[in-house]
Structure 1
């Protein structure tokens, strides 16, 4: 490898686990805590929004969001996330990871608050304002994916790198659980303070005026954890790998690393110069292939296909399950009919169910990955996760009528929880980790952003597709005399097939356990080839041509 950066990168690869590694996990992880809270808390309040803004006086049933409105409210943040992943992923490679890291967090803080302040004179305008701010909230969330993953991977040593990146992503589990816990607290407080016997006598009309504050408070609280870590993000130095490999400033890379890690490097003594001359950096860069060039496609084309396809397929299933688990629980009878409870009590019951799933399966699944990813490897965990998700989806879908009978709901919930466990002790974690390890530093953030955006495209397909499949098919089948819940059953079958396809595409993803980032990305060969090409070009240009 070229001597200018070998010392810096080798020091990172062999550095012992230190306090700054854990600090970086918290700083980056709080962004993902906020991401999960903001993305999934909307599923806690969509039924409440329907009761507040779409209830018709005298109707026999509580109000519900129309399918197109429900799809927009649930899916618009995912559209923003996809855009943010592509834009900030590209920007992170152009300007550096640190320069845009604080910007994504500030967007999340502002838009979380603005979402709760959504205004309008009629339901349509309020929903339109909510969707507008949630799009830009998703835009900021999207930037966190490539930047956090890349920053954590470029600071980690090769022995525990997988666990550190997975630990950042595992904060999502706490964010999902925190959303449920806070919704339980706020709904309990409002129900106790404002409920009355008159409302209990007629649950359908029990949407008290104060219920409008419940969903707004739940959405706005997402700004708090993001705001608490903003200062520390600004204090983080640029990653040494970006500075050494992309900016070509070895002295600055060594200095930045020495500030936060317990290593002693003098780049000037080791390299014999403070900085590569600009002409040398240009010559070296000239021999390196670009993104989507023929050489990139030859070296990393299948890798990028593997990371994008598996993340796309995983998120179809994962986001469908998360955003619409309340509908599934209602279909099998775990949640009572809406007409039997008031609006705030319904928020409480939905939050309690989702918190139970998060506590018993989602959070443990994430941390099982943290514990075993550097022992089992990324490939084995991802393959195992997709396999069990496929098995459990079909176990729910094929005998679906059995699970809807009274007394069988516990078994359904247990198996359904296991799909979350193996999603997180499986592809939901590994699809985040691997793209941050296998691509060259000069477009590592961009490729991670592309992979993550592919995942969010899958989430959009899941959010919109599952909603229409579950709601519209149920209505059509009910009109034709079929049993209720047939749309949910078909959705579970589709998700089982999707998980099986994810298992097949996993074979395109390389194993990165125990290898350095430069070894996985091929940058060792890249720099050597670039150096040789530069030397040959200089030798050719210095030849003298005899004059005849």
Structure 2
């Protein structure tokens, strides 16, 4: 194993005496020590599985709910007394509860810690899925051919459990992102978060793919000519929707088991609890626990008598700290506004073409004028080309079309973005894919206006597939990543929850747009045109950065050594490298309130030229200056901290009073 001390220029190897580090409690040094170990541990598959499985369960559950809606209409719609608004109400309940879950659990993660909430959101999803899958209309009494009475209301039960499901799904968003971001080494952070977001596409694929297999397997036993064919169809569909929903709980069970053995994130211990000892224990649990690794952790994470959380006095309340961050010199509200506005506008488009996918896909698939009919289609059939299709045929067609035009495409986009996420700057990546999406939606709107219900309709389908790929290749994945990167640890959960909740608010707005636009060719063209304009607005906001509302730089150019490397090395390695979470979002002067060294928490992400021009002996000189700063203590009148090209080594320049 390569000695970690060689990686940090020998700084820690030469200065492991207690007096050199016992007094150092400022935020920057704690975080640097943690970053050293996390970078040495590398990509943690255990952390990845914990975040991935939880996000997979929530995504699968949400899609499964959409799949089963036509079956519920068919089985429990008593003589047409329930219209399409019943499905709309259930969707709104789920989305509203999701918003509450994102904000509430994101905030709790900042106040109580990540570990105290590990598994709670998964338990909520399990309870909701299980409760919904076993919901019943109770005992039914038939009173003639046109009336019946039941002891329970299936829609009331689904209403309650859909609310719980939304709460669990909302809680999972910030928790998965926080786990992935705060346990990730700097180098792999973007890849880790993109790979976690892959769970959304995998969940879609599994929900629709297993749904097709389950429906076809169950419906093979149906005989359309049998006298009781209708009742048997209802029995088959009742089994189908319960299986489709309950299977989504399988990854949740595994996620719950894994989360029981994941410690609190070391960054939370450092930034919020100020407890180096606990941070060291967390890193030890995460590591391979080999003697060499444990020795490395103990040498780097040296705990002095003042490093315990209980020794820190004068700490401000979370509310005061958050107010200082959002509205103080850091102006954190601008970052929050930037990501929240983007997520809101994005989900207007994303959910606008996703929540009503059976109707949208049916319109895109139409290759000739619908056959005339005097009988209105049932509320579970959105396909004008097949007004007389059976319920089984309708559900099967919806599932297959979504698989072919949406699920596979989003999976391709999610897979492709993983190696790409570190090769472009986040802003360039976001802008390119958003402009491309706007162009695709414009082409789609024109295509639908010209080829609707014509043999050339395939052009619209091609544009739709490309758009699905680009969503996850670009803004859909990048908003998930950026929201986890750009905020300080103290407010990361709250900020992430608010940003993600803004997205779900966009989904609710999308419902209103679709309902107002109406059905048919004119309605679809209107919706696509509105979404095209929305994407243009998104791109312009990122490009122009009005009022300074913009994303921070989360990457920096590599050193001169990269430029002088060979062509093959440049192809394999990006010219950019991630900045640490602490460099992206420094916490201004918070440590001073706790009686720590003035200037702690202030960071400057140095430019490439600064890195290259620094004399080779500056690190060693910085070590001597730091020791001098320790000795002069109260006489130091100015402390200035700058990042060095060596991970974990800080140059502290102290100037004594009177020279």
Work out whether 1:500 is the aligned partner of 2:536: yes
Deviation of 1:65 (Å): 5.8
Cα displacement string for residues 102-142 of structure 1 (whole angstroms, at most 9, x for unaligned residues): 11000101100111222336799322321221111110111
Check the 8 A contact 1:397/1:492 in 2, yes or no. yes
1:143 and 2:143 correspond:
no
Match for 2:472 among 424, 437, 442? Answer: 424
1:27 pairs with one of 38, 50, 61: 50
Q: Which runs of 5+ in 1 are unaligned?
A: 57-62, 475-483, 540-548
Which secondary structure state, in structure 2, belongs to the residue aligned with residue 374 of structure 1?
coil
Query: Post-superposition shift, 1:294?
Result: 6.8
Give 1:163 shift.
0.8
Match of 2:489 among 427, 430, 441: 441
Deviation at 1:213, TM superposition (A): 2.2
Q: Cα 1:467–1:191, aligned 2, differ >3 Å: closer, same or farther? A: farther
CA distance in 2, matches of 1:517, 1:91: 20
The whole-number CA distance in structure 2 between the counterparts of 1:195 and 1:75 is 37
Larger Rg: 2
368-377 or 499-508, larger mean C-alpha shift: 499-508
Partner of 1:386: 434
Q: Is the 8 A contact 2:38 2:184 kept in 1?
A: yes
Partner of 1:523: 587
SS in 1 for 2:185: coil
1:212 & 1:259 partners in 2: Cα distance? Answer: 45
CA contact (8 A) 1:48 1:215 kept: yes
Answer yes or no: is 1:43 the counterpart of 2:66: yes
Higher helix share: 1
Whole-angstrom CA distance in 2 between matches of 1:512 and 1:274:
32
Question: Is the contact made by 1:250 and 1:274 (CA closer than 8 Å) also made in structure 2?
Answer: no
Aligned positions, number: 515
Deviations 1:512-536 (A, max 9, x none): 121111111113764368624699x
2:347 matched residue in structure 1: 315
Match of 1:468 among 511, 515, 524: 515
Q: Secondary structure at the match of 1:37?
A: helix
CA distance in 2, matches of 1:366, 1:294: 33
Judge conservation of contact 2:128–2:164 (CA < 8 Å) in 1.
Answer: yes
2:107 is aligned, of 76, 81, 90, to 90
**Preserved CA contact (<8 Å) 1:312 1:455:** yes
Question: Which residue in the other structure is 2:244 paired with?
Answer: 218
1:234 and 1:430, CA in 2 relative to 1: closer, same or farther beyond 3 A? same
Equivalent residues of 1:199, 1:342 under 8 A apart: no
Alignment CA distance shift 1:414-1:12 (3 Å): farther
Name the structure where strand makes up a greater proportion of residues.
Answer: 2
The answer to whether 1:111 aligns with 2:142 is no
Please give the root-mean-square deviation of Cα atoms over the aligned residues, in Å: 3.0
Note the 1:21-420 alignment, pairs <5 A.
21-54=44-77, 56=79, 66-120=83-137, 125-197=153-225, 207-262=233-288, 263=293, 264-266=296-298, 270-273=302-305, 275-276=307-308, 278-279=310-311, 281-283=312-314, 285=316, 290-293=321-324, 296=327, 298-299=329-330, 300-334=332-366, 337-420=385-468
- 8 Å CA contact 1:312–1:454 kept in 2: the answer is yes
Is this contact kept in 1: 2:205–2:403, CA < 8 A? yes
Distance (Å, rounded) in 2 between the aligned partners of 1:199 and 1:327: 32
Distance 1:269 1:163, change over 3 A: closer
> Is 1:511 matched with 2:547?
no
Looking at structure 1, the residues matched to 426 and 124 of structure 2 have their Cα atoms a distance apart, in angstroms, of: 32
**TM-score (norm: length of structure 2):** 0.72
**Offset of residue 229 of structure 1:** 2.1
Paired with 2:252 and 2:54, the residues of 1 have a C-alpha distance of 6
Cα distance, 1:510–1:332 mapped onto 2, change above 3 Å: same
Q: Call closer, same or farther: CA 1:402–1:96 in 2, change over 3 Å.
A: same
C-alpha change, 1:469 and 1:64, in structure 2 (3 Å) is farther
Contiguous gaps of at least 5 residues in structure 2: 1-25, 141-148, 367-382, 556-577, 601-632, 635-659
Task: Give the direction of change, closer, same or farther, for the CA distance of 1:142–1:407 in structure 2 (3 Å limit).
Answer: same
